[in-house]
Amino acid sequence: MSHHSGYYLLGAFALGVAVAAAYNKHRDTQRHTLIDVDANRHLKQQQKLISKLAKINDLDTLQKSLVQFENSLEKGAGTIKEGIEGCIGDTPLIKIKSLSEYTGCDILVKAEFLNGAGNSPKDRVALSIIEMAEEKGLLIPHSGDTIYEGTVGSTGISLAAICRARGYKAHICMPNDMAIEKSDLLLKLGAEVERVRPAPIVDQNQFVNLARKRAEEHTASPDKPGRGLFADQFETEANWRAHFTGTGPEIYEQTGGLLDAFVSGAGTGGTISGVALFLKSKLPDVKIVLADPPGSGLYNRVKFGVMFDSKEREGTRRRHQVDTIVEGIGINRVTHNFDVGRELIDDAIRVNDQQAIDMAQWLVEHDGIFVGSSSAVNCVAATKLAKTLGPGHRIVTLLCDSGARHLSKFWKHTEPVGGAENDVSLEKILDA
């Protein structure tokens, strides 16, 4: 046997084994015909490559072809997602150049607005709630089963989209002072929407309490098909677990375990608790910092152990004691989801409306990033923390949703974007 023939036989044998193994593994992990067809197509491509290799007599050419074949195997049969739910999670981690250059730290943001169903981190929660209910036999597709939720917008949008994808209906109760484009979007997604007056949680007509009531009424009604399920995003275990098993591990992997702090606002509290529980289990010294808007009592809970000060008292008068245009974060009670990780939160940073507005405009002006109010709050807090920690640190926060959902309220208060002469400096933003 010639020297070349020996290499050929060795290479061809290895390739045959590799193709068979790759294909069998792929078949074992895929469930649907469309993906199986794609796998068959990929297998045929590999078989053609082997046929070509059989005709190669030159050793150098054979070695190059083996490298090409290895690269082909690594690519596999593609990355086809299974439905819109397959587009949830694995969002990119992005370095915000302007904030990083200003602070000397890596300011990294998890682009949660790129989740594919409702375009926010609430996609993770909504999917987790639905899957948990399905596992318990509480939901049956196309039976008229309806999910009810009280939300300021993002969770409702995620639920509405995923419900449509899985054969359920959605009924959303929300305060009537939220940006109108949120309820408009919910209606376009086929959800029923009830906009109600803002009220404290002690009021039975508060939007969360009303959603629970509507779910009970649905289940009890002989005239409505299916059952009503109250999603209960503020208290359900599915919330923080979605971030403990998804967002937290993704951040850890994407940073290579090299990060000094995680910053996040809290509405239900599921994001900050779930991420904190995971990151602290891997990196005990990582700092978990709450970003909190005006009118919320969580800042005081973290800093001083109480839920109110001279301007804020839990469960009184209205939803926010201090008017704020920030939506999606800030609350005047401790939810189960927040309480799960509360002891792991090391510090809190208060961010006012003007700082959030100016930061949102700064991100567009200098980075081309267009986000909503909670994302702007997160970025102000992350930048403040970076200045406190000093250069050389790495801080991760979230970009929750697009500014397109905040045009009529939050973005209404901003100046025109386009390099205005009175462009606010980051120093002024942080000191406002």
**57-115 residue pLDDT tens:** 777 776 776 776 666 666 555 678 999 999 999 999 999 999 999 999 999 999 999 99
Joined tokens for residue 112: 């949660």
For the four alpha carbons of 120, 122, 124 and 126, in that order, the dihedral sign comes to: negative
Matching residue, tokens 């790129």: 114
Q: Is the per-residue pLDDT at 350 higher than 70?
A: yes
What CA–CA distance (Å, rounded) separates 161 from 149? 13
- How big is the chain by its Cα radius of gyration, in Å? 26
Mean pLDDT within 174-202:
92
What is the spatial order of strands in the sheet that 169-175 belongs to? 192-196, 169-175, 146-150, 228-230
Max intra-chain CA distance, the chain: 91
Confidence of residue 117 (pLDDT cuts 50, 70, 90): very high
Which pLDDT does position 273 carry in this prediction?
98
Q: Is the per-residue pLDDT at 38 higher than 60?
A: no
The residues near 282 (Cβ < 8 Å, ≥ 6 apart) are 252, 257
Joined tokens for residue 9: 């036989």
User: Where does residue 416 fall: left (phi above 0), alpha (psi -120 to 50 degrees), or beta otherwise?
Assistant: beta
3-class SS at 389?
A: helix
For the four alpha carbons of 168, 173, 177 and 178, in that order, the dihedral sign comes to: negative
pLDDT in tens, 325-335: 898 899 999 99
Which pLDDT does position 33 carry in this prediction?
42
Count the Cβ atoms, other than its own, within 10 Å of residue 34.
10
CATH of 122-230, one of 2.40.50.140, 3.40.50.300, 3.40.50.1100, 1.10.760.10: 3.40.50.1100
Q: Which of 201, 234, 204 is nearest to 216 (CA)?
A: 204
3-class SS at 172?
A: strand
Count Cα neighbours of 130 within 13 Å in the Cβ-side half-sphere.
Answer: 28
Which pLDDT does position 19 carry in this prediction?
46
Least confident of 39-48, 273-282, 419-428: 39-48
Mean pLDDT within 144-165:
95
| 84 close to 158: Cβ distance less than 8 angstroms | no
- For residue 150, list its beta bridge partners: 173
Q: Which of 236, 235, 262, 327 is nearest to 108 (CA)?
A: 262
Which pLDDT does position 2 carry in this prediction?
52
Which pLDDT does position 229 carry in this prediction?
98
Degrees (nearest 5) of the Cα angle 207, 247, 339?
Answer: 50
| 260 close to 389: Cβ distance less than 8 angstroms | yes
CATH code for the domain defined by 89-115+240-431: 3.40.50.1100
What CA–CA distance (Å, rounded) separates 126 from 163? 9
* pTM for the whole structure: 0.80
Q: Is the per-residue pLDDT at 243 higher than 80?
A: yes
Q: Which of the pair, 38 or 218, is modelled with greater confidence? A: 218
252 Cα distance to chain centroid: 15
Mean pLDDT within 385-407:
94
| 290 close to 259: Cβ distance less than 8 angstroms | no
- For residue 399, list its beta bridge partners: 111
What CA–CA distance (Å, rounded) separates 261 from 389? 10
What CA–CA distance (Å, rounded) separates 274 from 244? 4
| 263 close to 345: Cβ distance less than 8 angstroms | no
- For residue 170, list its beta bridge partners: 147
Q: Which of the pair, 382 or 4, is modelled with greater confidence? A: 382
Element (H, E) at 108: strand 106-111
Average pLDDT over the chain reads: 86
Mean pLDDT within 220-248:
97
Count the Cβ atoms, other than its own, within 10 Å of residue 277.
18
